[in-house]
Structure 1
Amino acid sequence: MPSFAVGESIPAHTAHAVSVSLPTWKANVGYEEGEKAVVDKMTTGYPRFFIHKSIEAFAQDITAKFGKPGQRAMLFPTRKAAQRCTQFIRDKASQDDLAQLEVLNLVLDSTKKHSEALQLVRPAVSAVLFQQEAFPIAKQYWQHSGDGVSSRRAEFCHGLFRDSLLVLESSPQSPRPSYQKMSRGPRRYQRPMSIDGVNTSTSQTGIDSAKNGSSDEEAEALESSRFLEERFGRNLDISLVENAKSAVRRRIAGVLTEDIDLTSTFPSMESDARGVSNFREDDVYLAPCGMNAIFTAHQTLLKTREPRKSINFGFPYVDTLKILQKFGPGCLFFGRASAADLDDLEARLKGGERFLGLFCEFPGNPLLTCPDLVRIRRLADEYDFAVVVDETIGTFVNVNVLPYADIVVSSLTKMFSGESNVMGGGLVLNPNGQYYKSLKEVLSREFEDTYWAEDAIFLERNSRDFITRTSRVNMNSESICEVLLAHPNVTNVYYPKYSNTKANYDACKLPNGGYSGLISCTLKNKAQAIAFFDALDTAKGPSLGTNFTLTSPYVLLAHYQELEWARELGVDPNLVRISVGLEDPEVLKSVFTAALKATEGVPDDSS
């Protein structure tokens, strides 16, 4: 198993790594508390929470050239995304903090001749400049929306900027786009969650270059360098970028199931892909990350239908709840996604309450329970609300939720990629959904393809063996569950196969599907949980769906400022979450057996 020091990127020596090593329980607490001994060692972090070195360096150069003293910059791929950020700042910041708030658009210098390839890549960046005091609010927008530039885009555009090929746009800014009014939401949820309170100003130390990487790492670095060297289009076959995106969309649609040469002809789209008729490739939209797919789904619904409160059904991934609370009329929250919660919702609907849409995960994170999508679909049809399902954990190899949803979203950063070196998100429309036509009209008018070319190339390459990897991870997960279930110190094993909502999962499970690659467990007390986690010989950090096993004290990381609130909803603050990888199953079983052995000397009555 790999060994990572505190703050090291996961994978090691990977310039665009998605995870960061927090190898002990104490290190996770130190991260949440902002302890210098931890944050000063962090070379990277999860990209929506930690602003990557490449992005920060570019932002600093922009402010140095165009900004005023005391200003900072946050970078977005388009003018519209930057304007959404400025509107969020205006809505949330005090009047004093709104001074010097502006947007600068950087585009290719039109006075110089550029290759066709460079023009087709469309390198551009829009910078939001603001006073230092407004940074926490700007960071909230970056984090919740997923609208920010990717590190690869920043790296590429920064090179153009230094070469004086990316310059300040001279044309006037367009009017601000229509944007739904933000809501501060119920007072209970205004308190900052842990990710809101992270002090990023002390942790932007960037990534150290690897001097001695493995052959795979060297190959990736070389591939990245070649892309940058070809930024003038001397050798890059630009058609591969669009073909890569098409291949990714078709994999998401379920019609491209084998490896394929990007220069060859792709198989035709079948009319019944993903279990629905009339499905087309252009019903799949690529986003820069999974959270941006959720943000886009919510914003699209607000522009498609009469703005109303949304429903968050189930214990939420933190930023999903934040999006529903802060952008639009607010949110009705059902924290357990139980049959009783559905009874409550149905009673409200019968009483005349109406909603924009219901957002849920299938299965949920971290308890791996599944909402009753059959009943939810019936209620949605009867009482006129949209259904948005996040299938990131289940994956479309294991389950098919599209027939029950109007929109399916997914984080392609996770299992779809597996390599933990590129971000991506997917949004899929149900072509037979009752809102399909109006959603399609809004998206055709509003949607911007901001998925950066190099990210698309990496994601396409990574996802070629998605189906076989998923099947292996399913089997490995069941092997680990057997070890956990057999040990007396393990009090709960959360996995769809053993959940009291297994019937809901099975209603969507595909004939050859499994029960996913995510497991959570609890032990008898906190001391045992710490002993177990610290003894686990796996990579440890945020994210999931990696090709290697990755564990974390998930509730501690995601809900550090509200652990008691999580406990009230049935989520143990000392829960350990396990994202299962592709390792040999016997090795995995021995690793977990050894970690459980470390709990046996810990008294049962510890707290």
Structure 2
Amino acid sequence: MPSIELGDSIPPNTAHAVSVSLPTWRSNIGYEEGEQWVLGVMVTGYPRFFIHKSIQAFGRDIVAKHGSANQQAILFPTKKTANRCIEFIRDKAPESALTDLDVLHLVLDPTKKAPAGLPDTPSISAVLCTSESFPFAKQYWQHSGDGVSSRRAEFYHALFKENMLVPEDTVSSSPRPLNKLGRGPKRYRRTASVDDTTNGSNGANNNRQYPVTLDPPADEVTDTLESSRFLEERYGRNLDLSLVPNAKSAIRRRIAGVLTTDIDLESTAALPTMDSNARGISNFKEDDIYLVPCGMNAIFTTHQTLLKARKPEKSINFGFPYVDTLKILQKFGPGAIFYGHGSSADLDDLEKRLEAGEKFLGLFCEFPGNPLLTCPDLTRIRRLADKYDFAVVVDETVGNFVNVNVLPFADVVVSSLTKIFSGDCNVMGGSIILNPNSRYYASLKRVMTAEFEDTYWAEDVIFMERNSRDFISRIDRVNANAEAICEVLVAHPLVTNVYYPKYNESRPNYEACKLPTGGYGGLLSCTLKTKAHAMAFYDAIETAKGPSLGTNFTLTSPYVVLAHYQELDWAASFGVNPDLLRISVGLEEDLVDIFKKALKAAEAVQEDTE
């Protein structure tokens, strides 16, 4: 990939890119230190950390029209998500930060003549807060993944500019029902969708079990075409949103492993039926798979669901986690115990706690972990969970559906579809899979049926479905490339450690879940002899360089600097070197040469210092 300028989107010229270029080690430090020479040129950033500029612009316009001079706005797709943010601020912020704190729910102005095809209940919510409380709102945005997507913000901003959205409390009696927020236009949904939570004032489905129905009712066809034309002509869209229900079904079936070829979404016959033994699990149905706006929202939603489905207890975070997973468990409920090594000794200690009578809500782990790529012993964890009654939640983002099958060991499996499932680094998404044979399945399903809001924006769904069509074929190439890079790194004298499931001591744990045709994944990490070597390697490597992983192109990052800059010593105490380089391997054909060249640059540092 050609060199990408500091602060430019990755991929370049991509309006809704998920990553941003930080091409030198120094620029990563500058980002973490908040230095203007970095922040001032950033056109975007990772969406949960950097609020997209289109969202910021919409927020400013909302404050200008409905707020006060000392307020800022942070946007959410529904009233429910905005109210959760308010609750978090009130719980975590000091009393002085709670002034001028409010929620504004914007709905369609009933006095305006809406253009043909406009969604029947367009609405969006804004948390209005001061500069003192904004950091707490931003914390909620980052941890929960509940924030509005940039594509959704652009759509509603256009309505707002045309004065078609007004505060809900100004609408006269008998307003339109507003509980359908964030599910995309009604005409693009089918009542048979598992994600339709429009029955009941709190988003409940009245315990209905929805079959999979893909054909639109005949009387909706004209409205759907009209809606698509309206979106395309008025807002410059070029997406047929009538295909959203089929797109969601296609995504779910790819996750389940039953859809393995390209399909035509306009032909419902092209979607294969769900095999009752998909993923090696009996009784597995499509409506056991939920789609959410991002991977972290999958973890957040699962934790919230467990707290409602079971007696609230502390959780277990097992293994060194991605930063926000631990924060969710610590901040949203009774708290968590943390086993940062994820070792057999840690399991011994946990077993002693359990034998002594301690109770836990659930154990959350990654398979493999990020960034050390170690794998927990899911076989033993499953045994302990069955004996001592706690749920097992496995994040398989790094392993991915094609390489490993962790569902037989888990009660819930979560994943970030933003990563290799999409690959194009231009849309966010996440998934939650309930194991139908889990002892907690009935209670989890009951809570999800009553509480789950489908806030996955229709356009994001369309992009995710398109991106994921060649998911399986991409994985094979990524696996092969990653192994080839590992061989280069392992053989080089300056490389002190290579972290990859194939090379780690925990490889037997990986093999226990590895599929017969699976590989070892596209993520690896390494350390070099000195920080100077690591810096020279990073600055020289001719790949994209920025946050995120699982992209179709190789993406390199000084991961620990970005994820744990304020807690480097803490990370080091769990064996995570502050100078570690994380490499998300892509599809390029010349990667071996690219890495050899970067290692040459590191060798030059060695020559200068000897």
Same fold by TM-score greater than 0.5: yes
Letter in 2 for 1:57: A
1:539 CA drift (Å): 0.4
Structure-2 residue corresponding to 1:77: 77
1:230 CA drift (Å): 4.5
- Structure 1 residues 443, 116: closer, same or farther in 2, change over 3 A? farther
Contact kept, 8 Å, 2:6 with 2:23, in 1: the verdict is yes
Structure-1 residue corresponding to 2:134: 135
Deviates more, 1:352-361 or 1:129-138: 129-138
Letter in 1 for 2:503: Y
Structure-2 residue corresponding to 1:597: 600
Structure-2 residue corresponding to 1:555: 560
Letter in 1 for 2:501: P
- Structure 1 residues 226, 394: closer, same or farther in 2, change over 3 A? farther
Contact kept, 8 Å, 1:48 with 1:146, in 2: the verdict is yes
Q: Distance in 1 between matches of 2:608 and 2:430?
A: 44
Q: Distance in 1 between matches of 2:236 and 2:50?
A: 31
1:603 CA drift (Å): 3.6
Structure-2 residue corresponding to 1:360: 365
Structure-1 residue corresponding to 2:35: 35
Equivalence map 1:390-539=2 (5 Å)? 390-539=395-544
- Say if 2:239 is the partner of 1:239: no
Secondary structure of the equivalent of 2:371? coil
Contact kept, 8 Å, 2:116 with 2:230, in 1: the verdict is no
Letter in 2 for 1:64: A
Letter in 2 for 1:259: D
Q: Distance in 2 between matches of 1:369 and 1:234?
A: 43
1:606 CA drift (Å): 7.1
Deviates more, 1:234-243 or 1:385-394: 234-243
Structure-2 residue corresponding to 1:124: 123
- 2:255 is matched with which residue: 252, 257, 261? 252
Secondary structure of the equivalent of 1:45? coil
1:118 CA drift (Å): 3.1
Q: Distance in 2 between matches of 1:271 and 1:417?
A: 26
Structure-1 residue corresponding to 2:159: 160
Contact kept, 8 Å, 1:19 with 1:541, in 2: the verdict is yes
1:252 CA drift (Å): 1.0
1:465-501 Cα shifts (integer Å, max 9, x gaps): 0000011100000010111011000010000011101
- Say if 2:568 is the partner of 1:569: no
Q: Distance in 2 between matches of 1:324 and 1:281?
A: 28
- Structure 1 residues 418, 330: closer, same or farther in 2, change over 3 A? same
Secondary structure of the equivalent of 1:74? strand
Equivalence map 1:340-379=2 (5 Å)? 340-379=345-384
Q: Distance in 2 between matches of 1:525 and 1:233?
A: 51
Deviates more, 1:237-246 or 1:522-531: 237-246
- Structure 1 residues 606, 117: closer, same or farther in 2, change over 3 A? farther
Equivalence map 1:235-314=2 (5 Å)? 237-265=240-268, 266-314=271-319
- Structure 1 residues 484, 348: closer, same or farther in 2, change over 3 A? same
1:56-113 Cα shifts (integer Å, max 9, x gaps): 0000111111001200111000000000000000011111211111111112233445
Secondary structure of the equivalent of 1:51? coil
1:493-530 Cα shifts (integer Å, max 9, x gaps): 00001110111001000010000000100011111111
Contact kept, 8 Å, 1:117 with 1:236, in 2: the verdict is no
Secondary structure of the equivalent of 1:365? coil
1:228 CA drift (Å): 4.6
Q: Distance in 1 between matches of 2:571 and 2:130?
A: 35
Structure-2 residue corresponding to 1:191: none
Structure-1 residue corresponding to 2:232: 229
- Say if 2:18 is the partner of 1:18: yes
Structure-1 residue corresponding to 2:50: 50
Q: Distance in 1 between matches of 2:532 and 2:98?
A: 47
Q: Distance in 2 between matches of 1:363 and 1:497?
A: 11
Secondary structure of the equivalent of 2:74? strand
Contact kept, 8 Å, 1:255 with 1:270, in 2: the verdict is yes
Contact kept, 8 Å, 1:115 with 1:232, in 2: the verdict is no
1:267 CA drift (Å): 1.2
Contact kept, 8 Å, 1:227 with 1:454, in 2: the verdict is no
1:599 CA drift (Å): 1.5
1:138 CA drift (Å): 0.7
Which consecutive residues of structure 2, in runs of 5 or more, have no partner in the other structure? 180-227
Q: Distance in 1 between matches of 2:327 and 2:468?
A: 29
Secondary structure of the equivalent of 2:602? coil
Q: Distance in 1 between matches of 2:138 and 2:262?
A: 39
Contact kept, 8 Å, 2:239 with 2:459, in 1: the verdict is no
1:602 CA drift (Å): 2.4
Q: Distance in 1 between matches of 2:114 and 2:275?
A: 39
Letter in 2 for 1:280: K
Structure-1 residue corresponding to 2:196: none
- Say if 2:3 is the partner of 1:3: yes
Secondary structure of the equivalent of 2:341? coil
Structure-2 residue corresponding to 1:68: 68
Letter in 2 for 1:229: E
Secondary structure of the equivalent of 1:522? strand
Secondary structure of the equivalent of 1:388? strand
Letter in 2 for 1:480: I
- Structure 1 residues 234, 116: closer, same or farther in 2, change over 3 A? farther
- Structure 1 residues 275, 606: closer, same or farther in 2, change over 3 A? farther
Q: Distance in 2 between matches of 1:96 and 1:443?
A: 36
State TM-score, norm by structure 1. 0.89
Q: Distance in 2 between matches of 1:258 and 1:453?
A: 22
Q: Distance in 1 between matches of 2:464 and 2:336?
A: 33
Letter in 2 for 1:393: V
Contact kept, 8 Å, 2:232 with 2:238, in 1: the verdict is no
Structure-1 residue corresponding to 2:326: 321
Q: Distance in 1 between matches of 2:131 and 2:445?
A: 39
Contact kept, 8 Å, 1:363 with 1:370, in 2: the verdict is yes
Q: Distance in 2 between matches of 1:236 and 1:498?
A: 44
- Structure 1 residues 233, 422: closer, same or farther in 2, change over 3 A? closer
Letter in 2 for 1:551: T
Which consecutive residues of structure 1, in runs of 5 or more, have no partner in the other structure? 177-224
Q: Distance in 2 between matches of 1:227 and 1:27?
A: 43
Secondary structure of the equivalent of 1:498? coil
State TM-score, norm by structure 2. 0.88
Letter in 2 for 1:147: D
Structure-2 residue corresponding to 1:339: 344
Q: Distance in 1 between matches of 2:178 and 2:230?
A: 35
Contact kept, 8 Å, 1:117 with 1:232, in 2: the verdict is no
- Structure 1 residues 409, 463: closer, same or farther in 2, change over 3 A? same
Secondary structure of the equivalent of 1:105? strand
Contact kept, 8 Å, 2:158 with 2:235, in 1: the verdict is no
Tell me the number of residue pairs that the alignment of Structure 1 and Structure 2 aligns: 556
Letter in 1 for 2:544: A
Deviates more, 1:257-266 or 1:420-429: 257-266
1:518-577 Cα shifts (integer Å, max 9, x gaps): 010001111111111111011000000000000000001100011111111111100000
Letter in 2 for 1:308: E
1:433 CA drift (Å): 0.5
- Structure 1 residues 298, 107: closer, same or farther in 2, change over 3 A? same
- Structure 1 residues 238, 564: closer, same or farther in 2, change over 3 A? closer
What fraction of aligned residue pairs are identical, expressed as a percent? 71
Secondary structure of the equivalent of 1:332? strand
Letter in 2 for 1:462: N
